[in-house]
Amino acid sequence: MQQDKPEPEGSMEWRSPSNIALIKYWGKQGNQIPMNPSLSMTLKYAFTQTEVKWRPNDGTTQGEFDFFLSGQKVGPKFEKRVGNLIKEMAKAYPVLNDLYFSITSLNTFPHSTGIASSASGLSALALSLLSAAQRATGKADEYPRFLQKASHYARLGSGSACRSIYGPYAIWGGGVNTESSDEYAIPYKPHQDFEIIYDSILIFSEKPKKVGSSAGHKLMDEHFYRQGRINQVRENSIRLLKALETGDFEMWQEVVEQEALSLHGLMFASHEPVLLLEPDTIRFIHDLNAFRAGKGLKVAFTIDAGPNIHLLYADEHREIIRNFISEWIMDHHLQIQVLDDETGKGAKQLFE
């Protein structure tokens, strides 16, 4: 740990990306501990940029803050989430109780589009607050340890946020390898063929999800297939890591798509069934399967807890896949937004 001069007043800004889970996190226990491990691909262009300014507070309120997202003051639900995160961090950094925070945040992507804004938002916030805490005390961790702590705190804000710290891929959850943990994510570097994967996100609906993430995870508490899901993830994690390590696109496609469909199958089979897919979601998958049959294309779809599709593909097939998407949209006379992204490197500090 480095010892620097304490800074009771200052500012810090971080940029943190969203991520798309390939091995899905669905179900949790305790204090944001996952029911099963997950593995995600970090995005590059879909990110949240957060600046935290701090100064001593007036002593009447602990961890006081104002938070503005895209120029608008955040609502009470998210405000409570931020307050809880500051309280958790203050257990290790009591100085946070003595500070006032002015927080401004901006997303590069629209809300409710199949991109996890909580992942990018809470990870950017955790990084900025941890920077503030360490600068206010004058005790800064070495960079790898700092990122691990930030991942831990990001997890307390939003489970998937812990994976956004790292790129190009991240693993969260114990038992995947000797370094993986339930408490924080770890970075993962794949075979060179998987270092850059493109992601076209088809927005079939921008409506808020019918079921929030917390309620969705709770569906697994008494789920009939809970243990089966845990067993499935164990096997799929082994297979996906093997595919990523060896450059096996066929196995990668099988696992990624099985994980996406299993997630929605689990929702269908819950004691309170949930259907989040749109008719056009199903139609696109059906037509994609027909289009790619026998072509050997390095492409796979995945879907988070919503109707919007992430179509993942290798650079060598970028033109043919993007042409297919454009033609499919025109053929079906749809007006849908497509966001293009690719594998990213993780969070980045913008200035000191």
Listing DSSP states for 274-337 in one string gives: -----HHHHHHHHHHHHHHTTT---EEEEE-SSS-EEEEE-GGGHHHHHHHHHHHHHHTT---E
Residue holding tokens 């949930």?
Answer: 274
pLDDT for res 61: 74
Q: Cβ of 184: how many Cβ atoms within 10 Å?
A: 21
Q: Give residue-wise pLDDT tens across range 78-131.
A: 999 999 999 999 999 999 999 999 999 999 987 755 577 899 999 999 999 999
Which regions in the chain score pLDDT beneath 50? Answer: none
pLDDT for res 62: 74
pLDDT for res 116: 72
pLDDT for res 328: 98
CA 313 to chain centre: 19
pLDDT for res 22: 99
Domains along the sequence of the chain with CATH: 1-352 (3.30.230.10)
Residue holding tokens 């969705």?
Answer: 216
d(CA 276, CA 281): 10
